[in-house]
Amino acid sequence: MSEGLRIGLAGLGTVGASLLQLIARHGGEFAERCGRPVTVTGITARDRGKQRPVDLSAMQWFDDPVALAQDPGNNLFVELIGGAGGVAETAVRAAIEAGKHVVTANKAMLADCGQELAELAEAKGVSLNFEAAVAGGIPIVKVLREAMAGNEVARVFGILNGTCNYILTRMEDEGLDFATCLAEAQRLGYAEADPTFDIEGHDTAHKLAILTAIAFGTRIDAKAIYVEGISSITPADLEAADELGYRIKLLGVASRTETGIEQRVHPAMIPKSSVIANVDGVTNAVALEADFAAQLVLSGPGAGGAATASAVMSDIADIARGSRVGTFGRPASALKPYKRAAMRAHAGGYYLRLTVYDRPGAFAAIATRMAKHGISLESIVQRRRNPHADAPEHLTPAAPQPVILITYETTEDAIRAALAEIIRDGHIAAQPQLIRIEPLG
């Protein structure tokens, strides 16, 4: 049996603790499968005194992650600290400079400087593996990087954030508002105390940027991604989507187009018949469309200690077996400059919810603005409020009324221009709700 892997583990949170449990439970079988035993020889974390579910007495404690990364007592550095920049990045660089393989789950770091780290790793002849950085336990990085090597990928899309998917599922199933569901997600540990990174789409964007680099062979450019979150979604939007045969999900979409690569993160209405539409709760799902493999869909736990530790261990297994591929499926130096497709050229159908003043000529003016920009309407639904139900007592027939418009395929540029004019005309009482309709299979 080959020389064992001696791991320096930085980070003993939920994932780090789960990784230690996994190694303790399956270390013997891992050695049989991969031909090398694996042990954790050194560890570091913010709180040395915290109670943990495994015995750490045989492992050397380091107060400094960089010192652990440089320590000759380990030959594989596993970074589970997280965060772009800071000590996580410094420690990863130190490990690579010391000629050590690195496994990380740090999507923010990869989205920020993954290209540079990959080039450094390849120059040093070591691996930089990151299966756990995208979609938790779903092996999407391995599928894209290895199994799809004989295909040209046309599109990658999916649900990449379990927090948002949980919130939208609860809102739809129970008719709850966004704030209530967010508070429940925080209580259950699905959302952070400051949930902005998740609910405003930035977490999904980082993951999408990594998948885009692998799928299309381009340099990572997370700043080029169009990003919208889910905080504006209301129960009325979810109810309308249901009646129209759709469900609303936060999607990350990367597509190859004639003008470049389109990357976008936003809520989308997708047909109930699609596989992605039926992914609920904290589950993630990723779909690939390619020329020879057609469409593949993978779903599973997108977060959590056990699932993420499983993904980390799959990267360790590749290193144990001596399996190496380019960090992003090809040499990092071969990645092409990212060419961004114009988001405003994106074409598709749209859902619009307008709060229209109930007065003569208001809707005619709105329809005129739509027609001016070549936008055809597939359906119009007016949801007149009932003043005898939950509406305020002062509500009169002249008060604003919700109107839902579904458009045929049009461009982002056209719909934005029409909405800008409608707002200036003064016939609507609130900011319009705009949700793209994605005809996913």
134: left (phi over 0), alpha (psi -120 to 50) or beta: beta
* Whole-number Å distance between alpha carbons of 105 and 148: 22
Confidence of residue 395 (pLDDT cuts 50, 70, 90): very low
Q: How many CA atoms lie within 13 A of 108 on its CB side?
A: 15
Please check whether residue 254 is in contact with residue 288, taking contact to mean a CB–CB distance below 8 angstroms: no
Which of 100, 107, 142, 207 is flagged as catalytic? 207
Strands 246-257 and 226-227: unpaired
DSSP tag of 72 = T
Q: pLDDT by residue (tens digit) across 37-52?
A: 999 999 999 999 898 8
Q: pLDDT by residue (tens digit) across 403-426?
A: 999 999 999 899 999 999 999 999
% helix, strand, coil for the chain, step of 5 = 40, 25, 35
Write phi, then psi, for 315 (nearest 5 degrees): -70, -40
Confidence of residue 390 (pLDDT cuts 50, 70, 90): very low
Span 6-11, mean pLDDT? 98
Class of CATH domain 5-133: alpha beta
Confidence of residue 380 (pLDDT cuts 50, 70, 90): confident
Q: Sketch the domain layout of the chain as residue ranges.
A: 5-133, 140-301, 345-437
Q: How many of the other CB atoms lie within 10 Å of CB of 335?
A: 23
Span 196-217, mean pLDDT? 97
Pick from 221-225, 284-288, 393-397: least confident: 393-397
Span 107-136, mean pLDDT? 96
266 forms bridges with which residues in the sheet? 251
Give the contacts of 279 (CB within 8 A, at least 6 positions apart): 159, 165, 249, 285, 299
Confidence of residue 114 (pLDDT cuts 50, 70, 90): very high
> Per-residue pLDDT for 397 more than 60?
no
Span 317-333, mean pLDDT? 93
> What is the share, in percent, of the chain residues with pLDDT greater than 70?
95
Pick from 100-104, 324-328, 382-386, 436-440: least confident: 382-386
Look at residue 184 in the predicted model and tell me its pLDDT: 92
Amino acid at 3: E
What superfamily in CATH does domain 345-437 come from?
ACT domain (3.30.70.260)
Q: Taken in order 335, 97, 76, 110, is the CA torsion positive or negative?
A: negative
Average pLDDT, the chain: 92
Q: pLDDT by residue (tens digit) across 243-291?
A: 999 999 999 999 999 889 999 999 999 999 999 999 999 999 999 999 9
CA dihedral of residues 424, 427, 431, 437 (deg, nearest 10): -100
Look at residue 341 in the predicted model and tell me its pLDDT: 87
260: left (phi over 0), alpha (psi -120 to 50) or beta: left
Q: pLDDT by residue (tens digit) across 49-73?
A: 898 888 999 999 999 999 999 999 9
| Residue 103, both tokens | 């496994």
> Which 3 state secondary structure label does DSSP give 74?
coil
> Per-residue pLDDT for 346 more than 80?
no
Rounded to 10°, the helix 14-34/305-321 angle is: 40
For the residues of 84-136, what is the DSSP string, one character each?
Answer: SSHHHHHHHHHHHHTT-EEEE--HHHHHHHHHHHHHHHHHHT--EE-GGGSST
* Whole-number Å distance between alpha carbons of 427 and 352: 15
109 forms bridges with which residues in the sheet? none
Closest CA to 327 of 104, 153, 155: 104
Q: pLDDT by residue (tens digit) across 162-174?
A: 999 999 999 999 9
Span 177-198, mean pLDDT? 92
> Per-residue pLDDT for 217 more than 60?
yes
For the residues of 323-356, what is the DSSP string, one character each?
Answer: ----TTSS-GGGPBPP-BPPGGG-EEEEEEEEEE
- Is 372 an active-site residue? no
* Whole-number Å distance between alpha carbons of 338 and 214: 12
Closest CA to 434 of 413, 417, 421, 415: 415
Look at residue 159 in the predicted model and tell me its pLDDT: 98
**314 vs 324, more confident:** 314
Strand order in the sheet with 101-104: 60-61, 38-44, 5-10, 76-79, 101-104, 128-129
Q: How many of the other CB atoms lie within 10 Å of CB of 52?
A: 15
Please check whether residue 270 is in contact with residue 438, taking contact to mean a CB–CB distance below 8 angstroms: yes
Span 339-367, mean pLDDT? 88
Span 189-197, mean pLDDT? 90
Confidence of residue 1 (pLDDT cuts 50, 70, 90): low
Look at residue 384 in the predicted model and tell me its pLDDT: 61
Please check whether residue 250 is in contact with residue 208, taking contact to mean a CB–CB distance below 8 angstroms: no
Closest CA to 366 of 434, 425, 415: 425
Domain 140-301 has CATH 3.30.360.10: yes
* Whole-number Å distance between alpha carbons of 204 and 223: 12
Please check whether residue 129 is in contact with residue 319, taking contact to mean a CB–CB distance below 8 angstroms: yes
Look at residue 258 in the predicted model and tell me its pLDDT: 87
> Per-residue pLDDT for 385 more than 60?
no
> Per-residue pLDDT for 202 more than 50?
yes
- Gap between the terminal Cα atoms of the chain: 47
